[in-house]
Amino acid sequence: MALVRIEGDDLVVVIEGLNRLWAFKSSLTIPLANVRGATADPGITAEPKGIRAPGAHVPGVITAGTFHQDGEKVFWEVKDPSKAVVVELADEKYARLVLQVDDPRATVALVEKALA
């Protein structure tokens, strides 16, 4: 699971527990100026992921790490699709972050409030 918080002018994502191993990252820091928005999207896990490099993908178990699709990099960290949130980015290494969070609605509200 990922913890999402706002620190000053940054969106900070902290990957918890063993998921750090599968995702090959422990945290991400993104300037809020490069965050376009966030949505709760449990259906995104059914879409094609692309080529993983590096990362892990075991259908129905975990999708974590960097995936390349259609010329874009997407960071995934999801075990439970019902808790998936998509954060859209601009001018960053990743085009999107697909994250499992404890409370998708609260996370989306946190990001949208920080952008307002």
Contact present, 12 and 27 (Cβ < 8 Å): yes
Q: For Cα atoms 2, 51, 13, give the angle at the middle one, nearest 5 degrees.
A: 15
Q: Phi and psi at residue 58, in whole multiples of 5°?
A: -125, 105
Q: Which residues contact 41 (CB under 8 A, 6 or more apart)?
A: 84, 85, 86, 98
- Alpha-carbon distance of 34 to 87, in angstroms, equals 10
- Concatenated DSSP letters of 30-72: EEGGGEEEEEE-GGGGGS---EEEEEEEETTTEEEEEEEETTE
pTM metric for this prediction: 0.91
Query: What is the model's pLDDT at position 21?
Result: 65
* Tens of each residue's pLDDT in the chain, 116 residues: 899 999 999 999 999 877 766 778 889 999 999 999 999 999 988 887 888 888 777 777 888 899 998 899 999 999 999 999 999 999 999 999 999 999 999 999 999 999 98
Query: What is the model's pLDDT at position 56?
Result: 79
Query: What is the model's pLDDT at position 31?
Result: 98
Quick one: tokens of 74? 């997407």
- Alpha-carbon distance of 38 to 19, in angstroms, equals 21
Number of domains in the chain: 1
Residue range(s) defining the domain that contains residue 47:
2-115
